């Protein structure tokens, strides 16, 4: 795991720094997120983006992953852009990341999800919330997203697990 003191370190190349921040982002999802660390990682990605240091598919993917777990609509919007760039450069995992960033951005601005990738807490229960019903499972598949019924099953499983664990 990367030490917060290493963020922006002159000893790391941007591609290595982005990879480490992405790994830390993934690890923080298991152990719980420290909001200050999330903010530092997102601000560092924004700085690297402004410097033009995010160049190849790997950099774009890692930067998009970090921003996906940000806290502002602009983080999700840039995550979508960077994941789209990564996908166009050949990073196949980035298509799903793009769908997730799009949905997260839509939710953050009060609109229905397009793909149904985000499980949210609504009225004390886990659900997918509002979803744009015109989106087809074929379109979801093009982005590597499971069919809507599978996404709904995941939300139901999460709810059952929470009720069981009480």
- Give the mean pLDDT of 58-80: 97
- Give the mean pLDDT of 10-31: 82
Mean pLDDT of the chain: 91
Q: Which residue has the tokens 């839509």?
A: 106
Strand partners, 113: 131
Helix (H, G, I), strand (E, B) or coil at 149: helix
Contact criterion met (CB below 8 Å) for 76 and 31? no
pTM attached to this predicted model: 0.87
Contact criterion met (CB below 8 Å) for 137 and 148? yes
- The least confident of 50-54, 100-104, 161-165 is 161-165
Pull the structure tokens for residue 79.
Answer: 């995550």
> Which run of H or of E encompasses 39?
helix 35-50
Q: d(Cα 96, Cα 156) in Å, to the nearest integer?
A: 21
Q: What pLDDT digit, counting tens, does each position of 24-35 carry?
A: 998 888 766 688
Strand partners, 131: 113
If we measure between CA atoms, which residue out of 4, 14, 81, 15 comes closest to residue 39? 4
Q: What's the pLDDT at 115?
A: 98
């Amino acid at each position: 795991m990367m030490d917060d003191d290493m963020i922006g370190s002159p000893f790391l190349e941007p591609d290595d720094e982005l990879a480490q921040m992405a790994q830390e982002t993934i690890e923080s999802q298991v152990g719980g997120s420290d909001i200050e660390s999330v903010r530092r990682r997102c601000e560092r990605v924004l700085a690297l983006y402004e410097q033009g240091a995010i160049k190849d598919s790997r950099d774009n993917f890692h930067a998009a992953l970090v921003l996906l777990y940000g806290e502002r609509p602009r983080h999700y919007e840039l995550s979508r852009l960077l994941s789209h760039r990564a996908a166009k450069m050949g990073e196949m995992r980035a298509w799903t990341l793009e769908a997730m960033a799009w949905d997260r951005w839509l939710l953050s601005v009060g609109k229905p999800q397009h793909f149904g990738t985000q499980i949210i807490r609504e009225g004390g229960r886990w659900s997918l919330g509002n979803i744009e019903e015109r989106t087809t499972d074929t379109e979801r598949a093009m982005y590597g997203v499971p069919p809507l019924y599978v996404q709904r099953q995941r939300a139901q499983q999460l709810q059952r697990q929470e009720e069981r664990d009480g």
